[in-house]
Homo-oligomer: A and B are copies of this chain.
Amino acid sequence: MYLRYLEALDEDGQRTASSDELAQLCGTTPAQVRKDLSFFGSFGKRGLGYPVHELTDHLQEILGLRQEWRVIIVGAGKIGAALANYRGFRQRRFTVIGVYDNDPAKVGSSWGAAPIRAMDALEGDIARDGAQIAVLAVPGEHAQPVVDRLVGAGIRAILNFAPAQLVVPEHVSVQSVNMAMELERLSFALANSDQDG
């Protein structure tokens, strides 16, 4: 969150930001800002504020956002298509280098620069191209078998859109985006709230 606001300030050409200003932007307190940012080194100077550009650089570096990541998308359905076009990938130097699907009507075409390839090619391509991150956009019942193949081929980070609990070894990171669960939380909140709120 800090990074997002710092990037915006940096783009606007602002040189320094006080903890008061960052606190207001992030909806927290100046003391919390100073505490959080102190984890990343002694950047803030009393009375001078934080140097926006240097702190932005530093946070990008820590988050691994200054290097390029090679991404594959498994599942060339609607979610996969929306993601292939997602500009947030490019902004964070995530390059989609391939899309995998079993549909013969799709295999052989491409989405932008990314070719759509058959699932058979998955392991060989990962070894050859050095993909690091896989986006999982397959139906829930196919998720775990695909994950096992990805992990076996050396993938260590998975962004999961399939409605399934995934089992992975400890060295593999999984982030799940579970739309169904978000909807259920909203539904629960509405159903159990006072109508006069």
Query: Which residues in A have some Cβ–Cβ distance to B below 8 Å?
Result: 1, 3-4, 26-27, 62-65, 67, 69, 78-79, 81-82, 85-86, 88-89, 91-92, 94, 132-133, 156-159, 163, 165, 167, 170-173, 175, 177, 179-180, 182-194, 197
SS class, residues of chain A in contact with chain B: mixed
**A159 contacts B183, C-beta separation under 8 Å:** yes
Instruction: Give which listed residue, B1, B4, B67, B187, contacts A64 with CB less than 8 A.
Output: B187
Given A85-B78, A156-B197, A197-B156, are A62 and B92 neighbors across the interface (CB < 8 Å)? no
Total copies of this chain within the assembly: 2
Closest B residue, CB atoms, query A86: B179
Chain B nearest CB, measured from A90 CB (Å): 11
**A4 contacts B85, C-beta separation under 8 Å:** no
**B186 contacts A157, C-beta separation under 8 Å:** yes
Instruction: Give which listed residue, B63, B65, B88, contacts A179 with CB less than 8 A.
Output: B88
